[in-house]
Amino acid sequence: MEPKNTFFSKKLTIKCRGELLDLSEPKVMGILNLTPNSFYDGGRHNTTERIIELVSKMLNDGCDMLDIGAYSTKPGAEIVSEKEELERLVPVFDLIKKKFPDLLISLDTFRSDIARIAITDYAIDMINDISAGDMDNKMLETIARHNVPYIMMHMQGTPPTMQKNPNYKNVVKEIMMYFSEKVSKTKKLGINDVIIDPGFGFGKTLDHNYQLLNYLSDFRIFELPIMVGLSRKSMIYKSLNTTPDESLNGTTVLNTLALAGGANILRVHDVREAKETITLYQKFSNAHVLNWHD
């Protein structure tokens, strides 16, 4: 049996720092939220000591890359100015680059000016954009100009409005069409390293999220790496009538299903558990039985 997560995909490498990063073996992206109101870990990482402690732990647990965000995008989150977003980011960029110079860093932002400054002044390795350029029409041009990997996510609406009334005739088909248009734009602009993210929890009901997860393998038709962010989200804790703090087990279950659907990057709060999930899933995928009747 061939590994399920590489059946369709051909473009399973991205170029970072002049070298190719192979995503045919799934990678783990750790989350570092610098916002005081993130849905799970808001305000927990507000000192130098806590940030160093968290990043050190994630690296020891096997983190392959770190995603830093300073703008909460949970439903109904308050608007943060560009100035404040940058003020939250810059000290942490300096700190991470000094303490962990070999760590690949992704910046979670939808603003092209923030992305430009992060790339040119702080050598940030990739941009993770929840709006795939829809919230800033200069973003795609900025990515093309600076030639860094670009994670583009689907979101219906904007963070303040996305969960008010998510509506699709066919959620899988509509998001496939969305990415078809976006991938075409990135190709025309010469953006070489693109990763797609279906955007679990961003403008989707619980049913929409599970429909997407069930048909995640269909997105391999784009022959691009797929990232999923399921970690401790409401599709887990609302389904189980628990809380984000009690959602680690559910996260592991859904990450396993995502790997079966072709996910190449798991974006998570809990790195060790995600790495173990990948290890066990790969053992399962590569277990060949010649003839069990013999």
- Please report the beta strands in 132-279, taking only residues with DSSP state E, as ranges in sequence order: 150-153, 194-197, 227-228, 265-268
> Residue written as tokens 């399920």?
4
Question: pLDDT-derived band of residue 44, with 50, 70 and 90 as boundaries?
Answer: low
Q: Which helix (H) or strand (E) holds 73?
A: none
Residue type at 262 in one-letter notation: G
**SS3 for 131?**
coil
Give, rounded to a whole angstrom, the gap between the first and last alpha carbons of the chain.
18
Residue 120 has pLDDT above 70, yes or no: yes
Domain range list for the chain: 4-285
- Answer left, alpha or beta for residue 279, where phi above 0 means left and psi between -120 and 50 means alpha: alpha
CA distance 53 to 289: 44
- Give the pLDDT score at 38: 47
pLDDT at 4: 44
| Residue 49 tokens, joined | 């000591």
**pLDDT greater than 90 at residue 294:** no
Please write the tens of the pLDDT for every residue from 51-77: 999 999 999 999 999 999 998 777 666
User: Is CATH 3.40.50.300 the classification given to domain 4-285?
Assistant: no
Residues 222-269 have pLDDT tens digits of: 999 999 999 999 999 999 999 999 999 999 999 999 999 999 999 999
Contact 200, 233 (CB under 8 A): yes
Q: Using one digit for the tens of pLDDT, what is the confidence trace for 201-226?
A: 999 999 999 999 999 999 999 999 99
Dist CA 228 CA 206 (whole Å): 16
Distances (CA, A) of 249 to 63, 83, 97, 246: 19, 38, 32, 8
pLDDT exceeds 80 at position 194: yes
Which tens digit of pLDDT belongs to each residue from 160-169?
666 788 889 9
Dihedral Cα 251, 259, 140, 208, nearest 10 deg: -60
The residues that are catalytic are 233, 267
